[in-house]
Structure 1
Amino acid sequence: MNYSYTFNLKDPNSTKPTLIYLRARIKAENKYLKYSTGEKIEPKNWDKELQFPKKIKGRTTKAIQVNSIINQLSRYGEAFQLICSKIEAEGTELTVNLIKAELDYQFKKFTTAPKSFFNVFNEFIQEKKDLGKITTGTIGRYENIKSVLEDFSIAEKYNLTFNRINNDFYIKFVKYSRKTLRHKNNTLGRNIGFIKTFMNWAVMKKYHRNLDFKNFEKVSSDTDEVALSFTELEKLYTHKFKTNRLRKVVDVFIFGCSTGMRYSDYSRISKRNIRDGQIFINTTKQKSNLGIPLNKYSKEILEKYDYNLPIISPQKFREYIKEACKVVDFNEDIVKTSFIGNERIEEVIPKYKMISTHTARRTFITLSLEKGMRPDIVMSITGHKSYSSFKKYIKLSKKIREEEMNKAWS
Structure 2
Amino acid sequence: MKENFNREFKKIDPSKSVFYEAYDSFIEEKVKRREWKPSTIKRYNNIKNHLVQFDKSTKYNLTFSNINEKFYTDFTDYCYTTSDHGTNTFARNIGLFKTFMFWAIKEKYTYNDAFRGFKKPDRVITQEVALNLDQVKTIFEFDTKSKSLEKVRDVFVFQCLTGLRFGELRLINNRTIRDGVLLIKEDKDVTKDAREIPLFDITKYILKKYDNLLPLITNQKQNELIKKVFKSAEFDFDVEYTRNKNKQKEVIVKPFYDRISTHSARRTFITIMKKKGIADKTIMKMTGHRDLKTFNSYYKVDTEAKVDAINLAFGSMELPKLKKA
The counterpart of 1:272, out of the listed 150, 164, 175, is 175
Name the aligned partner's letter for residue 240 of structure 1.
D
Q: Does residue 1:170 correspond to 2:75, yes or no?
A: no
Compute the displacement of 1:167 (Å). 3.2
Cα distance in 2 for residues equivalent to 1:296 and 1:395: 26
> d(CA) in 1 for partners of 2:108 and 2:202?
52
The answer to whether the 8 Å contact 2:17/2:63 transfers is: no
Report the CA distance shift for 1:250/1:123 in structure 2 as closer, same or farther (over 3 A).
Answer: same
Q: Distance in 2 between matches of 1:155 and 1:400?
A: 47
TM-score, reference length from structure 2: 0.84
Q: Contact 1:152 / 1:176 at 8 angstroms: preserved in 2? A: yes
CA 213–404 in structure 1, closer or farther in 2 if over 3 Å, else same: farther
Taking a change above 3 Å as real, the CA distance of residues 305 and 162 of structure 1, as seen in their structure-2 partners, is same
1:300 aligns with 2:202: no
Q: Is the 8 A contact 1:163 1:210 kept in 2?
A: yes
Verify the 8 A CA contact 1:273 1:279 in the aligned structure 2: yes
Q: Which runs of 5+ in 1 are unaligned?
A: 1-82, 91-97
Q: Structure 2 matches for 1:1-400, cutoff 5 A?
A: 83=1, 87=2, 99=5, 101-104=6-9, 110=11, 112=13, 116-162=18-64, 164-208=66-110, 210-219=112-121, 220-287=123-190, 288=192, 289-400=194-305
**Cα distance between partner residues in 2 of 1:366 and 1:222:** 15
TM-score calculated relative to the size of structure 1: 0.68
Q: Which has the larger radius of gyration?
A: 1
Q: Is the 8 A contact 1:239 1:328 kept in 2?
A: yes
Question: Could you tell me how far 1:349 is from its partner in structure 2?
Answer: 1.1
Q: What is the CA–CA distance in structure 2 between the aligned matches of 1:363 and 1:349, rounded to whole Å?
A: 19
Which residue in 1 is equivalent to 2:321? none
Q: Please state how far the C-alpha of 1:249 moved relative to its aligned partner.
A: 0.8
Identity of aligned residues (%): 38
> Per-residue displacement from partner, 1:69-106 (whole Å, max 9, x unpaired)?
xxxxxxxxxxxxxx3xxx3xx8xxxxxxx84x54447x
Paired residues of 1:185 and 1:340 also in contact (CA < 8 A): yes
CA drift of 1:264 comes to: 0.9
How many residue pairs end up in the alignment? 311
- How far off its partner does 1:148 sit? 0.9
Cα 1:343/1:104, change in 2 over 3 Å: closer
Compared CA separation, residues 254 and 181, structure 1 to 2 (3 A): same
What do the CA deviations read for 1:134-188 (whole angstroms, capped 9, x no partner)? Answer: 4433322211110111222343343434454343322221122223333222222
Q: What amino acid sits opposite 2:286 in the alignment?
A: I
Determine helix, strand or coil for the equivalent of 1:222. coil
Partner amino acid, structure 1, of 2:238: D
CA drift at 1:350: 1.0
Q: Which structure carries more strand by proportion?
A: 1
Question: Greater relative contact order: 1 or 2 (C-alpha under 8 angstroms, separation 6 or more)?
Answer: 2
Please list every run of 5 or more consecutive structure 2 residues that lacks an aligned counterpart in the other structure: 316-325
State the 1:207 CA deviation.
Answer: 4.1
Q: Which whole-Å CA distance do the structure 2 matches of 1:257 and 1:360 have between them?
A: 4
- Contact residue 12 and residue 18 of structure 2 kept, 8 A: no
Give the Cα–Cα distance (whole angstroms) in 1 for the partners of residues 70 and 83 of structure 2. 19
- Worse-matched range after superposition: 361-370 or 384-393: 384-393
Farther off after superposition, 114-123 or 382-391: 114-123
Deviation at 1:405, TM superposition (A): 3.0
| Aligned CA distance change for structure 1 residues 344 and 155 (closer, same or farther; 3 Å) | same
Give the letter aligned to residue 165 of structure 1: I
The amino acid across from 1:396 in the alignment is V
* Alignment CA distance shift 1:144-1:223 (3 Å): same
Compared CA separation, residues 286 and 171, structure 1 to 2 (3 A): same
Quick one: distance in 1 between partners of 2:285 and 2:106?
33
AA partner of residue 232 (structure 2) = V
Quick check: 1:254–1:297 contact (8 Å CA) kept in 2? no
| Secondary structure of the structure 1 residue equivalent to 2:311 | helix
Task: Check conservation: 2:12, 2:21, Cα contact below 8 A.
Answer: no
| RMSD between aligned residues | 2.6
Q: Which amino acid aligns with 1:336?
A: Y
AA in 2 matched with 1:125: I
* SS state at 1:227 partner: coil
**Letter of the structure 1 residue corresponding to residue 184 of structure 2:** I
